[in-house]
Amino acid sequence: MKVSTIWQRQLCYAGQLQQCGDEVEFLGEKQIITVVPTFNSPVLHLISGDVGPFRAGLPTNVPMWLAVQLKQRQQGKIQAPDWMDIDRLTEMKENEKQSQTFTKMPSDHYMVEAKILLDCASDDIPRADEIRTIIKDIWDIRMSKIRTSVNKLIKNADSYAGLDNLTVMEINSIRPILPHALDQIYRIKASKKLRVPSQNSTTFHTSSRPSTSFSS
C-alpha cells in the first residue's frame, strides 16, 4: 500500500509528454508469470499468442494480466517469479548498496510486477510483507542514486546522459521534471551562443503571447 501512494505522488504529473504510471503498468502487464490453474481447459488462442493448455494443478505460463484475472476469479494460484525470494532480494539489495552505479534488475518491470502481484496475490507468495519491504528498500536506494545523478547532471549542464539498467518505471519517475530542466538549460546555452534568443524559444513564447496581446 505504501508503495502505491508513493507512485501516485511521484508519477502523475500534469503535462503533455508524460506517461502515467498506469501506462507503464500496462506495458509491464505483458510479462510472463507462472500460474497453477484450478480448472481444465484446452489451449486458448489469444491474439498475442497461445496460452495453456490448462490442467488443474499443473503450472502454466501466462501473461500477467491474465494471471491476475484468473487469480481474481479464484481459478488459479500465482507462483512468485523466482527473483521474488527473500534471499535473492537481500543479495540484490546488498549489491545495490555496494555499487556506485545501478545494478541490473532481474526484470525490466520489477516494480510493476511486485506491485501487482503483491496486491492481488499476497496469499500465494510466501513472506509477502517482507518481500514488499525489501523491494521498497531497493527502490529507495535506487531513487536516491537517481537524485544524486540528476543533481550532478544539472550542475554540469550536460547535454547527454547514459541511463543503463534503469527500469522504465524509474525513468518515468524523473519525467517530466528532468527533461524539462534540461530543455531550459539547452535554451540558456543556445541563447548564450546566439545572443538572439528568439530562435529557440518559439514554443516558450507561444504559450505566453496571447494573453499579453489581449491586454494591449
Partner 1 sequence: MDEAAIEELELSDAESFEEVQLTAAQVIEMMEEAWVNEKFAPEILPHKMEVVDCLLGQIAYMEENLQSLPSTDFKKSIHQLEVDRLRFLVSSYLRTRLEKIETYVTHILKQEQQRHESKEDLYLSKQELKFAKEIAEALKQNFDGLVSFYPGLPLEEWVSQPVQPNMHSFVFLKSKKDVNEVVIDDGSIATEGESDLVDFREGAQILIAYSSVAGLLKKGDVKLI
- Judge whether 78 and 121 are in contact, CB under 8 Å: yes
Q: Is 213 an interacting residue with respect to partner 1 (CB under 8 A)?
A: yes
Give, as ranges, the residues between 104 and 133 that touch partner 1 (CB under 8 A): none
Neighbours of 37 (CB within 10 A): 21
Give 100 or 203: the residue with its C-beta nearer to partner 1: 203
Q: Which stretch binds partner 1 (CB under 8 A): 1-9, 83-91, 138-146, 177-185?
A: 177-185
Instruction: List C-alpha distances in Å: 197 to 168, 200, 204.
Output: 34, 6, 11
Q: Which stretch binds partner 1 (CB under 8 A): 1-9, 111-119, 137-145, 167-175?
A: 167-175
Q: Is 164 an interacting residue with respect to partner 1 (CB under 8 A)?
A: yes
Amino acid at 39: F
Rounded Cα distance between 21 and 9, Å, is: 10
Give 84 or 112: the residue with its C-beta nearer to partner 1: 112
35-39's contacts with Cβ under 8 Å and 24+ in sequence apart are 35/59, 35/60, 35/62, 35/67, 35/70, 35/71, 35/76, 35/77, 35/78, 35/79, 36/60, 36/76, 36/77, 36/78, 36/79, 37/70, 37/75, 37/76, 38/74, 38/75, 38/76, 38/77, 39/75, 39/76
Q: How far is the CB of 155 from partner 1 (least distance, A)?
A: 15
Give 98 or 203: the residue with its C-beta nearer to partner 1: 203
- Judge whether 79 and 62 are in contact, CB under 8 Å: no
Give, as ranges, the residues between 8 and 47 that touch partner 1 (CB under 8 A): 16-17, 19, 23, 26-27, 39, 41, 44-47
Q: Which stretch binds partner 1 (CB under 8 A): 4-12, 79-87, 91-99, 185-193?
A: 185-193
Give, as ranges, the residues between 66 and 105 that touch partner 1 (CB under 8 A): 66, 69, 73, 75
Footprint on this chain of partner 1 (rule: CB under 8 A): 16-17, 19, 23, 26-27, 39, 41, 44-49, 65-66, 69, 73, 75, 159-166, 168, 171, 175, 178-180, 182-183, 185-190, 192-194, 200, 202-203, 205-206, 209-210, 213
